[in-house]
Structure 1
């Protein structure tokens, strides 16, 4: 804090000229910021390399980034095609790694995984192939672990309410209604059996549909 009576830090002002902030002119990293003689393909290569260094990207994500930075479509497509040819862009590898990571880390089911990949511009066939790699038994066990973690927090509620909440949680994570029903019913039945009481108020309950994409 400046001493009493001394001027505080000078604030920079916006505006044209005078060294305002942000600086006048094109945004950094765009084609226009490189000057009138810049090679669009060289600029596109630099943008793509910088983005890929930070994290894997799909071709669609890179194409969108180039478009937002003012790279002409023909230059962008030429660079993207070359990057794909040499393996710097690989939507199949991206999708497979995404499925493995998001299922293991977040417990996402097939529908949620497919929706996330499609949102990132991965082609439908590539999405189906990547999601098909998820072992059904592994998906089932992951759903069981999710329910087991959430089950204690629902104790004391009516059975149907517990079922709806647990089933809704699985639905939001992309599990099919059939799998959600099976896992939730198993968990509730095992609990009441251990306590020596019947399972009640569950008849007629059906889990909600997910909003994610169906995966044929």
Structure 2
């Protein structure tokens, strides 16, 4: 089932559980525009509650109505920070090669609390992180076309490989060690 189909199924369940007499037409009219905007944002990609709140407030919706809509969406599990954080970490680590340090900062920026971030980041262990860093370093090392002629060229190539790892937030000591290994392997490959 696609995420859109899941959202529709959740909304249908919420409608089925609706008790007559609870409906306030004025409140619903007010919330309809906000809900439509929120669902459009969620349709584009998953978002944390904090992030969604910020986007809706930036669109100048009434903060009280925004909170009501967010509560409604949370009640039918259309926004769930734990699920969001877990999926964010999984995808960004696998597809973008981001380190846990960078992923933690991204989740913090999206308003995800520390406990939820920690649980989501637990899916990446040190071996996974090193494997990702090694793959990135090897990919960058493959761009080197000839054996470095001297120490300056070697340092330049090493800085470029370390730079790739540093931009993704890997620890300096690990980045330098892995970059040296990747550069040495590439130099040996080119020297044949």
| Pair 190,78 (structure 1): closer, same or farther in 2 beyond 3 Å | same
Gap regions ≥5 residues in structure 1: 1-35, 197-216
Cα distance, 1:43 vs. partner? 2.4
| Secondary structure, aligned partner of 2:143 | helix
Gap regions ≥5 residues in structure 2: 1-25
Q: How many residues align?
A: 162
Question: What pairs with 1:10-159 in structure 2 (closer than 5 Å)?
Answer: 39-154=29-144, 155-157=146-148, 158-159=153-154
CA RMSD, 1 decimal:
2.6
Q: Which residue of 1 aligns with 2:159?
A: 164
CA distance in 2, matches of 1:160, 1:183: 14
CA distance in 2, matches of 1:38, 1:100: 36
Q: Which residue of 2 aligns with 1:209?
A: none
TM-score (norm 2): 0.72
Match of 2:182 among 166, 183, 187: 187
Cα contact 1:58–1:89 (8 A) shared by 2: yes
Q: As a proportion of its length, which structure holds more helix?
A: 2
Cα distance, 1:86 vs. partner? 2.2
CA distance in 1, matches of 2:171, 2:64: 42
Cα contact 1:58–1:91 (8 A) shared by 2: yes
